[in-house]
């Protein structure tokens, strides 16, 4: 009975209007996916459907009945819709305004909003200082994981502090649950939800609340929440406060590194999401074909060279690593990227193990958080929220990548 709507017919009628008036506000992709027509979900018919049976009542087609209208214009929806729709609008947390796919059913990633820079320049607003910056991360997230790997390899663990949110992201967005293994409280702002940190930085914030976030403890604001840019800042601006002299954006390689990061983003890093979140067969086909074409390409490149940009470990490797390490456990199954496993690639698989076995990298990988996050946080993709057993790839297995030309920075390997 708890799955049945607890509302009068007038509320249900208003919901029908609400859906019809906002064909592009989140309901539309769900409605398309369910194959439910607008007339089916319009007022009186929906009301009849609710009274008769529970099916077709939720426009995402999940078989749940829409639940508990809070007011005539504000509805609490089933978790399937809530999950894809939470965002900040003018500093207010909203669950009805976030669209994930466009009119062709293709996943539409929104741009990130905080784009300031830490610069090693005496006139800069944000200067690199040990202890000044803080990272909010999720161990499950591939974008945040880039920064965790960089922080480790670049010797910035003492200089930049970090907190970890819960891998499960529900109706309220990212949450701090320090009682859970691998999670922490918000040690800087004391918030319960990451969205509070965003509002602290900008009371009128209108954006998704994403990780990673680079927070400035001095100015009490967000510097940047775009992983590619945070990675570059850590690499190029923090030399004076790092514990080693590792450089992942070396001179002579920079154009190539930029080109590769750009080249792998759409088909691979974002490609797994485009495959998994596609709302139409054609959008899925396009994404998944691009993904495997790109993986095939890089597998060939890696036949004769140890790293993506040649003989040097660079930021580009970090960017590919965090997608590859999730692939066989998650993207293959959850996002339907099941044409091939990374373990079936002659070069990508040993390359992935090579990166995994770099000092400190393994401890940045938390497969429990990774699998929990994906399989429980996207119920429109995995509605039962069951975490599958998984293939448990042996990332520690030996590889012979060190026979290829190229040396790793010596200071990566502590001598003590």
Q: How far is the CB of 282 from ligand GSH (least distance, A)?
A: 24
Please give the biggest Cα pair distance in the chain. Answer: 74
Quick one: tokens of 27?
A: 């309901």
- Taking the C-alpha atoms of residue 211 and residue 145, their distance in angstroms, rounded to an integer, is 9
- Taking the C-alpha atoms of residue 316 and residue 256, their distance in angstroms, rounded to an integer, is 9
Q: Tell me which long-range contacts 281-285 makes (C-beta under 8 A, separation of at least 24).
A: 282/104, 282/105, 283/101, 283/104, 283/105, 283/106, 283/107, 284/336
Q: How many residues touch ligand GSH (CB under 6 A)? A: 10
Catalytic one of 273, 284, 331, 351: 273
Locate all alpha helices (DSSP H) within 210-309, ordered by sequence. 227-237, 254-264, 271-276, 281-301
- Taking the C-alpha atoms of residue 66 and residue 49, their distance in angstroms, rounded to an integer, is 11
Active-site residue flag, 58:
no
82 binds ligand GSH (CB under 6 A): no
323 binds ligand GSH (CB under 6 A): no
Q: How far is the CB of 147 from ligand GSH (least distance, A)?
A: 8
Stretch that binds ligand GSH, among 207-215, 245-253, 352-360, 402-410 (CB under 6 A): 207-215
Of 228 and 354, the one with the shorter C-beta distance to ligand GSH is: 228
CA distances from residue 305 to 61, 398, 406 in whole angstroms, order as listed: 48, 18, 8
Exposure string over 363-375, b if 16+ CB within 10 A, otherwise e: ebbbbebbbbbbb
Stretch that binds ligand GSH, among 197-205, 208-216, 250-258, 397-405 (CB under 6 A): 208-216
Helix (H, G, I), strand (E, B) or coil at 194: helix
Selected from 101, 210, 275, 382, the binder of ligand GSH by CB under 6 A is 210
Residue with tokens 């690199």: 128
- Taking the C-alpha atoms of residue 245 and residue 256, their distance in angstroms, rounded to an integer, is 21
Segment 355-414, which members bind ligand GSH (CB under 6 A)? none
Of 152 and 208, the one with the shorter C-beta distance to ligand GSH is: 208
141 binds ligand GSH (CB under 6 A): yes
Catalytic one of 141, 183, 319, 337: 141
Q: How far is the CB of 7 from ligand GSH (least distance, A)?
A: 28
Selected from 101, 112, 191, 275, the binder of ligand GSH by CB under 6 A is 112
Stretch that binds ligand GSH, among 4-12, 113-121, 209-217, 338-346 (CB under 6 A): 209-217
- Taking the C-alpha atoms of residue 194 and residue 166, their distance in angstroms, rounded to an integer, is 10
208 binds ligand GSH (CB under 6 A): yes
Of 369 and 401, the one with the shorter C-beta distance to ligand GSH is: 369
Q: How far is the CB of 42 from ligand GSH (least distance, A)?
A: 29
162 binds ligand GSH (CB under 6 A): no
Selected from 81, 211, 318, 325, the binder of ligand GSH by CB under 6 A is 211
List of residues 6+ apart from 217 with CB closer than 8 A:
131, 132, 133, 134, 188
Of 186 and 226, the one with the shorter C-beta distance to ligand GSH is: 226
Q: How far is the CB of 401 from ligand GSH (least distance, A)?
A: 27
Segment 220-249, which members bind ligand GSH (CB under 6 A)? 226-227
Active-site residue flag, 273:
yes
Give 105's DSSP letter.
S
100 binds ligand GSH (CB under 6 A): no
Of 56 and 82, the one with the shorter C-beta distance to ligand GSH is: 82
Of 169 and 312, the one with the shorter C-beta distance to ligand GSH is: 169
Is beta strand 213-216 parallel, antiparallel or unpaired with respect to 133-137?
antiparallel
Segment 46-75, which members bind ligand GSH (CB under 6 A)? none
The answer to whether the beta carbons of residues 397 and 343 sit under 8 Å apart is no
Of 32 and 139, the one with the shorter C-beta distance to ligand GSH is: 139
- Taking the C-alpha atoms of residue 67 and residue 140, their distance in angstroms, rounded to an integer, is 30
Active site residue ranges: 141, 273
Q: Given the rule CB under 6 A, which residues bind ligand GSH?
A: 112, 141, 143, 208-212, 226-227
């Amino acid at each position: 009975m708890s799955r049945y709507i607890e509302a009068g017919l007038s509320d249900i009628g208003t919901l029908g209007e609400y859906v019809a008036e906002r064909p592009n506000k989140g309901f539309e992709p769900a409605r398309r996916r369910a194959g439910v027509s607008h007339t089916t979900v319009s007022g009186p018919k929906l009301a009849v459907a609710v009274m008769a049976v529970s099916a077709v009542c939720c426009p995402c087609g999940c078989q749940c009945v829409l639940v508990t209208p809070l007011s005539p214009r504000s509805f609490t929806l089933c978790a399937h819709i809530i999950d894809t729709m939470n965002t900040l609008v003018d500093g207010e947390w909203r669950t009805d305004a976030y669209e994930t796919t466009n009119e062709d059913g293709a996943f539409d990633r929104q741009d990130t909003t905080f784009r300031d820079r830490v610069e090693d320049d005496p006139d800069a607003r944000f200067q690199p200082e040990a202890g000044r910056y803080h990272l909010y991360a999720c161990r499950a997230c591939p974008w945040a994981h880039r920064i965790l790997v960089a922080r480790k390899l670049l010797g910035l663990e003492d200089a930049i502090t970090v907190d970890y949110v819960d891998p499960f992201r529900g109706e309220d967005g990212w949450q701090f649950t320090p009682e859970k293994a691998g999670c922490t409280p918000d040690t800087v702002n004391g918030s319960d939800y990451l969205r509070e940190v965003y509002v602290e930085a900008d009371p009128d914030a209108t954006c998704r609340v994403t990780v990673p976030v680079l927070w400035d403890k001095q100015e009490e604001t967000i510097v940047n929440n775009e992983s590619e840019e945070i990675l570059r800042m850590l690499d190029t601006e923090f030399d004076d406060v790092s514990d080693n002299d590792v450089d992942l954006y070396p001179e002579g390689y920079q154009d190539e590194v930029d080109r590769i990061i750009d080249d792998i983003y759409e088909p691979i890093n974002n490609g797994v999401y485009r495959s998994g979140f596609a709302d139409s067969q054609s959008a899925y086909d396009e994404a998944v074909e691009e993904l495997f074409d790109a993986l095939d390409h890089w597998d060939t490149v890696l036949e004769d060279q140890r790293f993506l940009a040649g003989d040097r470990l660079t930021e580009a490797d970090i960017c590919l690593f965090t997608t590859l390490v999730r692939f066989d456990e998650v993207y293959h199954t959850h996002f339907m990227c099941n044409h091939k496993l990374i373990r079936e690639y002659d070069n990508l698989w040993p390359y992935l193990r090579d990166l995994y076995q770099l000092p400190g990298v393994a401890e940045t990988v938390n497969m429990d958080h990774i699998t929990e996050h994906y399989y429980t946080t996207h119920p429109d993709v995995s509605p039962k929220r069951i975490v599958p057993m998984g293939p448990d790839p042996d990332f520690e297995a030996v590889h012979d990548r060190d026979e290829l030309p190229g040396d790793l920075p010596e200071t990566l390997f502590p001598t003590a």
